[in-house]
């Protein structure tokens, strides 16, 4: 079955297998016929012998010669017979022998039939196996053809793979060149940015130097004016003169503080003039007060300014004397398309902002105990994680998950500024008490200070852990982090001034209006009040059933700092008394999901809570 050429490995294997199967079948069938063939041969011999005996018995008795059958008679008669038997006895004896031979022939014929049937069965099996062998040979031929086709396809695919590999290598080389070009461009951009920062720093230093020189000149001039004013004496005539129009006239005389020499008496006479008392007072007292205020303001600006520019603080910040504990629900509605993450009241306590995962900020008016839609702010581009009003109530700042914070002006639907620069989700964004300044915290382990006039990051603080929330004081920034620590930063210094460890990841921070106490909420299901005067944890609030529902659960002080408010995972609100440390009230039933954030209005009359089930609830 081998071909002319040397067969390949698989073909040689199946050929050897077929040969082994044929040899095994030959041995099996040969074993079946090993006993049948000799028995059949013996049967044929006996049949021939019987036929010969039958022919001899048919002959006449006279024709039988004693010599011919002498040997046979001696063989069948036994050694005891000494005389020759008669033909009749021989015929009877041969008949008996013939019957015995017929019986033997019948048995042999029966065996022949059985063996013939077995042989037919074996021949049928042989034919069946030959048919199967032919089918297998046909199948082998088909498989050979399929193998040849697959080999051709394999060669084609190898060729295509080789071509694709060459194209991939070319693309890799091109990508490497482009990456190198990108790195060069990034380095150039970094160099340009560093040069720009250096130039801005130089320009700021020059501007500061010019301002200082100008202020020094103004100080010198003011000092000179003060010295000249100090050398003059203001004499007020207490007896007023009555003018023709009925008005009084008080005379003020300016005289030198040191008496002049006699030679200079004529010169000093020209300094003695009469003025109205109001004019004289405004010339001296008000001028001195203005000058002193200017000096104090200059010193303050020198100590707390950034880049030499004076800090402008907001004129008025609302103050609450007594906050009222909420007892019931005024209004509840589904405000957003998905969960609501942040809520904040405006300074006038009648404007409310909510932000959610639907990338929208809704402004609401609190009118007659109900929430009425005011405006929708768009353009965030990501889930809202924090919202805040500036102290004037004219701007809204929001932190989003698209690595940026957005600034809106109340009354304008589209974003006014985008504060981009973070490399991960921005989790907190708060206004500072000075105008046009804000602070953001992010999961990229940085806290950034922003100049809102130019949408420029004025400072970047690198931290070792995720930042979950920030609050701002006069000149301090406080950040809560995922590593269970609260960090304090001075706006005028580069380093961290203090670190307070707490148990559990910090989820939110709330600064009291007097900036003397800090409320923190953490994942150990507790609220902590930190006294900033001694930098120590003053109280720890916990309650049965209270649990933080997420890493961004927000807690809040009441505007008079008498109460601490937080929402739990079961939808209930918990209110603690800051002075006594006891749980003051628990408000269940309004929410059916975890509460994400709460806010207490500045007037102290209402609170608002938002949850993960898109609901906003107003409490009274």
The arithmetic mean of pLDDT across residues 197-212, rounded, is 80
Least-confidence region, from 11-25, 310-324, 595-609: 310-324
CB 385 within 8 A of CB 378: no
pLDDT (0 to 100) of residue 598: 97
The arithmetic mean of pLDDT across residues 357-369, rounded, is 94
pLDDT at 73 over 60: no
Least-confidence region, from 200-204, 420-424, 543-547, 577-581: 200-204
pLDDT at 101 over 70: yes
d(CA 69, CA 182): 126
pLDDT at 55 over 80: no
400: confidence class by pLDDT, cuts 50, 70, 90: very high
Instruction: Give the list of residues 6+ apart from residue 114 with CB closer than 8 angstroms, or none.
Output: none
The arithmetic mean of pLDDT across residues 549-569, rounded, is 95
pLDDT (0 to 100) of residue 261: 42
Burial of 403 (0-12, 13-18, 19+ CB in 10 A): middle
Structural domain boundaries in the chain? 8-59+89-199, 231-238+247-304, 329-619
Share of the chain above pLDDT 90, in %: 50
The arithmetic mean of pLDDT across residues 596-603, rounded, is 95
Backbone angles phi, psi at 578, to 5 degrees: -70, -35
Average pLDDT, the chain: 81
Sign of CA dihedral 211, 217, 221, 227: positive
Burial of 319 (0-12, 13-18, 19+ CB in 10 A): exposed
pLDDT at 274 over 70: no
Residue whose pair of structure tokens reads 């405004």 in the numeric block: 282
pLDDT at 163 over 90: yes
pLDDT at 208 over 90: no
- pLDDT, tens digit (0-9, with 9 covering 90-100), for 376-386: 999 898 999 99
pLDDT (0 to 100) of residue 415: 82
- Distances from the Cα of 168 to the Cαs of 37, 85, 164, 172, 177, in angstroms? 75, 114, 6, 6, 14
Instruction: Give the list of residues 6+ apart from residue 389 with CB closer than 8 angstroms, or none.
Output: 344, 345, 346, 347, 351, 353, 395, 396, 397, 431
pLDDT (0 to 100) of residue 235: 54
More confident residue, 596 or 56: 596
d(CA 226, CA 288): 7
pLDDT at 482 over 60: yes
| H/E run at residue 219 | helix 87-230
Q: Hey, what are 578's tokens?
A: 């800051």
d(CA 12, CA 2): 8
CATH superfamily assigned to domain 329-619: YVTN repeat-like/Quinoprotein amine dehydrogenase (2.130.10.10)
Q: Hey, what are 65's tokens?
A: 């010669």
More confident residue, 195 or 591: 591
Q: Hey, what are 284's tokens?
A: 């001296």
The arithmetic mean of pLDDT across residues 409-429, rounded, is 91
Short-list 469, 495, 466, 490, CA closest to 480:
469
CA angle 270, 276, 281 (to 5 degrees): 95
Burial of 484 (0-12, 13-18, 19+ CB in 10 A): middle
Instruction: Give the list of residues 6+ apart from residue 226 with CB closer than 8 angstroms, or none.
Output: 288, 291
CB 415 within 8 A of CB 373: no
- pLDDT, tens digit (0-9, with 9 covering 90-100), for 114-143: 888 888 888 889 889 998 999 999 999 999
pLDDT at 325 over 50: yes
- Distances from the Cα of 194 to the Cαs of 57, 181, 418, 459, in angstroms? 139, 20, 22, 14
**How many other CB atoms are there within 10 angstroms of residue 163's CB atom?**
10
pLDDT (0 to 100) of residue 85: 57
pTM of the model: 0.53
d(CA 330, CA 617): 8
pLDDT (0 to 100) of residue 59: 63
Least-confidence region, from 16-20, 351-355, 371-375: 16-20
Q: Hey, what are 616's tokens?
A: 């906003």
The arithmetic mean of pLDDT across residues 33-59, rounded, is 78
pLDDT (0 to 100) of residue 540: 96
pLDDT (0 to 100) of residue 9: 64
33: confidence class by pLDDT, cuts 50, 70, 90: confident
pLDDT (0 to 100) of residue 108: 80
d(CA 465, CA 456): 24
**What are all long-range contacts of 313-317, with beta carbons under 8 Å and residues at least 24 apart?**
313/433, 313/434, 313/435, 314/390, 314/391, 314/392, 314/433, 314/434, 314/435, 315/392, 316/391, 317/347, 317/391, 317/433, 317/513
CB 451 within 8 A of CB 200: no
Torsion of CA 445, 450, 456, 459, to 10 degrees: -50
d(CA 384, CA 355): 5
DSSP SS3 for 15: helix
pLDDT at 281 over 80: no
pLDDT (0 to 100) of residue 317: 58
Least-confidence region, from 76-85, 194-203, 495-504: 76-85
- pLDDT, tens digit (0-9, with 9 covering 90-100), for 505-532: 999 999 998 899 999 999 999 999 999 9
Helix 87-230 / helix 287-304 crossing angle, nearest 10 deg: 150
DSSP codes, 564-606: EEEE-TTS-EEEEETTT-SEEEEE-SS-SS-EEEEEE-TTSS-
pLDDT (0 to 100) of residue 340: 96
The arithmetic mean of pLDDT across residues 434-442, rounded, is 93
**How many other CB atoms are there within 10 angstroms of residue 336's CB atom?**
21
d(CA 219, CA 368): 56
List 449's β-bridge partners, or say none. Answer: 439, 459
Helices (H), 317-414: none
pLDDT (0 to 100) of residue 319: 66
d(CA 89, CA 305): 159
d(CA 424, CA 466): 10
């Amino acid at each position: 079955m081998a071909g002319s050429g040397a067969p390949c490995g698989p073909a040689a294997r199946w050929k050897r297998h077929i040969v082994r199967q044929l040899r095994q079948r030959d041995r099996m069938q040969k074993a079946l016929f090993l006993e049948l063939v000799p028995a059949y041969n013996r049967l044929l011999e006996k049949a021939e012998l019987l036929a010969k005996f039958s022919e001899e018995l048919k002959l006449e008795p006279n024709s039988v010669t004693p010599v011919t059958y002498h040997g046979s008679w001696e063989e069948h008669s036994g050694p005891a017979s000494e005389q020759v038997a008669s033909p009749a006895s021989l015929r009877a004896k041969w008949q008996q022998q013939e019957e015995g031979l017929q019986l033997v022939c019948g048995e042999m014929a029966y065996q022949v039939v059985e063996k013939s049937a077995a042989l037919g069965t074996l021949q049928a099996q042989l034919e069946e196996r030959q048919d199967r062998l032919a089918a297998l040979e046909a199948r082998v031929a088909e498989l050979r053809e399929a193998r040849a086709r697959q080999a051709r396809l394999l060669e084609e695919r190898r060729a295509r793979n080789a071509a694709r590999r060459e194209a991939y290598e070319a693309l890799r080389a091109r990508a490497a060149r482009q990456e190198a070009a990108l790195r060069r461009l990034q380095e150039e951009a970094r160099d340009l940015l560093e040069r720009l920062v250096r130039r801005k720093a130089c320009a700021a230093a020059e501007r500061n130097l010019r301002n200082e020189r100008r202020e020094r000149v103004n100080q010198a001039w003011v000092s000179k004016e003060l010295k000249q004013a100090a050398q003059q004496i203001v004499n007020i005539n207490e007896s007023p003169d009555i003018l023709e129009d009925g008005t009084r006239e008080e005379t003020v005389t300016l005289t030198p503080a040191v008496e002049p020499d006699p030679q200079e008496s004529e010169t000093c006479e020209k300094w003695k003039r009469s003025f109205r008392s109001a004019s004289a007072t405004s010339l001296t007292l008000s001028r001195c007060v203005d000058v002193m205020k200017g000096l104090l303001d200059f010193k303050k600006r020198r100590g707390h300014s950034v880049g030499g520019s004076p800090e402008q603080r907001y004129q008025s910040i609302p103050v609450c004397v007594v906050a009222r504990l909420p007892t019931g629900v005024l209004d509840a509605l589904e405000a957003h398309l998905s969960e609501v993450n942040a809520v904040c009241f405006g300074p006038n306590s009648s404007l409310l902002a909510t932000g959610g995962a639907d990338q929208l900020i809704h402004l609401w008016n609190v009118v007659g105990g109900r929430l009425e839609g005011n405006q929708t702010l768009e353009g965030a581009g990501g889930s809202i994680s924090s919202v805040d009003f500036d102290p004037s109530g004219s701007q809204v700042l929001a932190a989003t998950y698209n690595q940026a914070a957005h600034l809106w002006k109340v009354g304008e639907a589209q974003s006014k500024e985008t504060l981009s620069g973070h490399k991960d989700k921005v989790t907190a964004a708060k206004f500072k008490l000075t105008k046009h300044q804000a602070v953001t915290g992010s999961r990229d382990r940085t806290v950034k200070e922003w100049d809102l006039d130019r949408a420029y990051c004025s400072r970047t603080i690198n931290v070792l852990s995720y930042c979950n929330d920030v609050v701002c004081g006069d000149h301090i920034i406080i950040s809560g982090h995922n590593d269970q620590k609260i960090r304090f930063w001075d706006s005028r210094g580069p380093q961290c001034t203090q670190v307070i460890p707490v148990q559990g990841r910090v989820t939110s921070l709330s600064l009291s209006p007097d900036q003397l106490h800090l409320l923190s909420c953490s994942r150990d299901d507790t609220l902590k009040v930190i006294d900033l005067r001694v930098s120590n944890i003053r109280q720890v609030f916990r309650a049965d059933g209270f649990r933080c529902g997420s890493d961004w659960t927000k807690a809040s002080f009441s505007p008079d700092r008498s109460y601490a408010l937080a929402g739990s995972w079961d939808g209930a609100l918990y209110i603690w008394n800051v002075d006594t440390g006891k749980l003051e009230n628990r408000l269940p039933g309004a929410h059916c999901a975890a509460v994400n954030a709460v806010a207490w209005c500045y007037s102290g009359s209402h609170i608002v809570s938002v949850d993960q089930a898109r609901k906003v609830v107003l409490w009274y």
